[in-house]
């Protein structure tokens, strides 16, 4: 249970990860940590350079850091941050920086991992406020009153070109350069982490997803699916199925959390492959 605007609501969540129709391995990872109300998703990169190792390191490092922060309010904050951010947001930002360093150092120690990297999108709920930390092109969306809002900005070449007015959004969606990232975990010893905070209200639905979903499924289709399917695990599976029906050109991961007024039974989770929930 979480108190939102003085009203107790239940957070029901679920996630699915799938290899897709084309890839021979799954480099996506996710974790749902119910005890912390923490959601983390990472898309690994590197292929033979063990992208799946990078995404797993990202997720596990963030979960460990946030768990320690929960136990010890004096956890070291290693990054500069805005004074008006909550402690949860500051800790989540530093958790992502710690994940970046873990991936970088692992690649330095193991020659076969050179060149691996990962995206990450993490959301941490506390007292009605959602902290978001983000690097790369995995996305966070919020569905509220039927309207789908993207909470994160892609750190990709085509997204930057769209922001600068060089190409249109439609051209970006058709570009062969969609996979070129300007920012990712593991490339350097430090990384710039986008962070933000947003208020959460009863009835909201949170979606974290890898680009294997957003390249295959339109935002109206995503919004319609989240509205039509109230079970988070089933909604995540339907989104995966849509992406596969449309080609499934990449690994696909979706994590859905619904904030609802009244308890409607036990929390539900769906696991596949190496994905974990707690």
Can you give the CATH number for the domain in which 273 is found?
Answer: 3.60.40.10
Neighbours of 6 (CB within 10 A): 6
Is 86 part of any domain? Answer: yes
User: What does the mean pLDDT of the chain come to?
Assistant: 87
**DSSP run (H or E) holding 33:** strand 28-33
Distance CA 204, CA 51 (A): 32
Does residue 164 lie in a domain region?
A: no
Alpha-carbon distances, residue 162 vs 136, 158, 174, 194 (angstroms): 16, 6, 12, 18
Q: What is the pLDDT of residue 274?
A: 42
Percent of the residues in the chain that have a pLDDT greater than 90, as a whole number: 68
Q: Flag whether 83 is in a domain.
A: yes
Whether the pLDDT of residue 267 is over 60: the answer is no
Q: What angle do CA 274, 34, 143 make, to 5 degrees?
A: 90
> How buried is 216 (Cβ within 10 angstroms: 0-12 exposed, 13-18 middle, 19+ buried)?
buried
Average of per-residue pLDDT across 239-255: 97
In a domain, 176, yes or no: no
57 lies in which domain range? 2-141+183-277
**pTM listed for this prediction:** 0.87
Give pLDDT tens digits for 7-35: 567 899 999 999 999 999 999 999 999 99
Does any domain span residue 163?
no
Query: For 60-113, what is each residue's pLDDT tens digit?
Result: 999 999 999 776 655 555 555 566 789 999 999 999 999 999 999 999 999 999
Task: Let me know if residue 175 belongs to a domain.
Answer: no
Which tokens go with 31?
Answer: 């974790």
Which pLDDT band holds residue 272 (cuts at 50, 70, 90)? very low
Helix 232-245 crosses helix 219-228 at what angle (to 10 degrees)?
Answer: 150
DSSP 138-194: -EEEEEETTEEEE-S---BHHHHHHHTTSS-HHHHHH-TTTT-BS--BTSSS----E
Burial class (CB in 10 A: 0-12, 13-18, 19+), 198: middle
Does 160 fall in a domain?
no
Alpha-carbon distance of 195 to 133, in angstroms, equals 4
pLDDT of residue 163: 73
Residues contacting 194, CB < 8 A, separation 6+: 132, 133, 134, 135, 152, 153, 155
Measured in degrees and rounded to the nearest 5, phi and psi for residue 248 equal 50, 50
Q: CA nearest 213: which of 165, 148, 267, 133?
A: 148
* Cβ(216)–Cβ(147) below 8 Å: no
Establish if 26 belongs to a structural domain.
Answer: yes
Domain count, the chain: 1
């Amino acid at each position: 249970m979480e108190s939102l605007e003085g009203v107790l609501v239940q957070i029901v969540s679920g996630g699915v990860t799938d290899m897709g129709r084309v890839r021979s391995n799954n480099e996506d990872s996710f974790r749902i940590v119910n005890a912390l109300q923490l959601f983390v998703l990472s898309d690994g990169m590197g292929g033979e350079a063990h992208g799946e190792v990078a995404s797993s390191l990202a997720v596990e490092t963030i979960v460990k850091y946030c768990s320690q922060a929960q136990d010890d309010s004096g956890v070291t904050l290693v990054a500069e941050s805005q004074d008006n951010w909550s402690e949860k947001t500051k800790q989540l930002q530093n958790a992502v920086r710690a994940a970046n360093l873990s991936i970088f150092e692992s690649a330095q120690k193991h020659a076969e991992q050179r060149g691996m990297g990962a995206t990450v999108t993490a959301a941490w709920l506390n007292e009605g406020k959602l902290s978001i930390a983000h690097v790369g092109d995995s996305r966070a969306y919020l569905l509220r009153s039927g309207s789908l809002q993207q909470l994160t900005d892609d750190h990709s070449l085509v997204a930057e070109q769209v922001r600068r007015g060089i190409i249109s959004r439609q051209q970006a969606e058709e570009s062969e350069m969609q996979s070129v990232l300007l920012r990712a975990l593991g490339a350097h010893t430090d990384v710039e982490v986008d962070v933000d905070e947003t208020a959460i209200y009863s009835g909201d639905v949170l979606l974290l997803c890898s680009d294997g979903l957003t390249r295959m499924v339109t935002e109206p289709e995503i919004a319609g699916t989240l509205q039509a399917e109230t079970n988070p695990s089933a909604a995540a599976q339907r989104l995966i199925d849509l992406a596969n029906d449309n080609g499934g050109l990449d690994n696909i991961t979706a994590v859905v959390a619904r904030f609802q007024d009244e308890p409607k039974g036990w929390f539900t989770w769906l696991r596949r492959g190496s994905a974990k929930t707690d």
